[in-house]
Amino acid sequence: MSGQVGKTTVAMGERRRLSLLFRTSSDRHSDVSAMRLPTAGAVLRRLVGAALFLALTVGSVAFLVEVEIADGRVMALARQESAAFLAEARSSLSAGVADADLEASLRAFMSSRSQVRNNHGDGLFIVAELYAPDQRKTAEYIAPGAEWAEKRLSASRHGFPDGNDAIYDRFTLDGRIFIQTMEPLLDPDGRLLGYFESVFQLSSRRSREILWDTATVVGVSSLSVLGTALVLLPIFGAYNRGILRLSRGLLDANIGMLAALGSAIAKRDSDTNAHNYRVTVLAVRLAEALGLDDAAIRQLMKGAFLHDVGKIAIPDSILLKPGKLDAEEFAVMKTHVVHGLDIVGSSDWLADATDVVGGHHEKFDGSGYPRGLTGDAIPMAARIFAVADVFDALTSRRPYKEPMSFAATMDILADGAGRHFDPVVLERFTGIAAGLHDRLTKLGDDGVREELRGLVMRYFSWHDRCHGVRPRKTNPPPCR
């Protein structure tokens, strides 16, 4: 009857077990990584960075707006000049006078207007050119010493405007602002008389005013944003500290659940939590010696605590039987793996323990259960735990056996290399086993418990320990 129960239970759990075992490592590690909390300092740096970024963004927008305003002011000046010239020269343009006469008129006009502009402090036109409606140059004015501007004008000649729109280009040279424009000249009836092209140089005073206004707007905008951010920073900081406290509380609750589940079955199996504490410490120290990363070690720790959690579903008559199990009883005992996978799979936070829970009875040569995996197909966490579990089982006292000596235990482990155990993992364990065994024996159950507490703090709550955050309890239990 018990054999039939075991087969039925295995069949019912098969689909559930496979879905858990085939979860990818990245899926499982993401569950753990989500619980690594940012520090208050890290959040503060992010908030300050966000405030600076916002200030720079607002400042940049303000700068662009101010530059557009400056462009508009200079364009207005250029249009005033073209309108003034058109008022004086409209009759000549309409009559189609000779180019020489147009150039004389242009030179006389520009000389008089330059004097007016200098008196007003706006600046002056250093280059002006007239074009006929067919886009042929008819007249040219170059202020003394401004030949360079004509060369630039020739090198960067732009097209002629369509309709009534003007085109312009702004450039800065030696800290001074220049505007190059091209305006259509129209008579009152809208007939095209020609084109007026110019380079206007703002005076030093007006250039400084525009640059100063721009810098002032950018500075005030940036300081306003930063000031607002500094006022709000304590509020955000307090809010974030509350979130961190709640997150740490959630982490503590999850670790407490991990410990409670592991302890429940450990007490039922051996009337003590010591096996869970020791085997977890042994597995973690072996993983460290093998160079596993923190995420893999956290995964291993969860699996180590919960490796036999499925035994909670095994009857006492089988679980606590002093003698050897018969074939039917052993079939029922093996179902603890399926039950364990069902239990850890019911929680997203515990699901990455499946490598150990589902694989700690696999053997390197494929003779293990439940899937008969071989070699590297067995998850590394399960290969590590298998060595630690067997070592502790042999060297500790159980209801049905006395502890075995260290030397005899190591002989048994060595005999299982390549069959039960990964030879590489076992070789690394052999190098640290004596020191570990002596130290854990001297520490006793309470000392092992404290060592495990330190490992939990290191791998699950390392932000608290490394950044000086005081724990909520002065002496919390190892996994709470």
Would you give the DSSP letter of residue 196? E
pLDDT for position 290: 96
Q: What is the mean pLDDT of residues 180-200?
A: 83
Distance CA 133, CA 239 (A): 69
pLDDT for position 14: 44
Protein fold of 43-217: Beta-Lactamase (3.30.450)
pLDDT for position 417: 96
pLDDT for position 43: 61
Residue among 42, 39, 35, 34 at smallest CA distance from 469: 39
Distance CA 386, CA 262 (A): 17
Asked if 19 contacts 341 with a C-beta cutoff of 8 angstroms, the reply is no
Burial class (CB in 10 A: 0-12, 13-18, 19+), 296: buried
- Please report which helix (H) or strand (E) contains residue 353, including its range: none
Looking at the DSSP bridge assignments, the partners of residue 124 are: 201
Looking at the DSSP bridge assignments, the partners of residue 184 are: 195
Distance CA 11, CA 335 (A): 10
Would you give the DSSP letter of residue 313? G
Structure tokens at 49: 């960075």
Asked if 393 contacts 403 with a C-beta cutoff of 8 angstroms, the reply is no
Distances (CA, A) of 264 to 259, 269, 305, 384: 8, 9, 10, 23
pTM summary value: 0.54
pLDDT in tens, 215-242: 777 777 777 777 777 777 777 767 777 7
Residue 115 has pLDDT above 90, yes or no: no
Distance CA 435, CA 429 (A): 10
The top-scoring range by mean pLDDT among 54-58, 75-79, 195-199 is 195-199
Q: Where are the domains of the chain?
A: 2-34+271-466, 43-217
For residues 189 and 325, which has the higher predicted lDDT (pLDDT)? 325
Length of the chain in residues, anyone? 480
Distance CA 280, CA 289 (A): 14
pLDDT in tens, 136-145: 888 888 888 8
Distance CA 244, CA 36 (A): 11
1.10.760.10, 3.40.50.150, 1.10.8.640, 1.10.3210.10: CATH of 2-34+271-466: 1.10.3210.10
Rounded to 5 degrees, φ, ψ at 138 are -115, -25
How confident is residue 158, by pLDDT bands cut at 50, 70 and 90? low
- Number of alpha carbons in the 13 Å side-chain half-sphere of residue 120: 11
Asked if 305 contacts 389 with a C-beta cutoff of 8 angstroms, the reply is no
Would you give the DSSP letter of residue 478? T
| Cβ neighbours around 70 below 10 Å, total | 21
Share of the chain above pLDDT 70, in %: 74
Distance CA 357, CA 338 (A): 9
pLDDT in tens, 405-429: 999 999 999 999 999 999 999 999 9
Residue 400 CB contacts under 8 Å (≥ 6 apart), including other chains? 320, 321, 322, 323
Give me the DSSP letters along 87-113. HHHHHHHHHT--HHHHHHHHHHHHHHH
Burial class (CB in 10 A: 0-12, 13-18, 19+), 366: middle
3 state DSSP class of 461:
coil
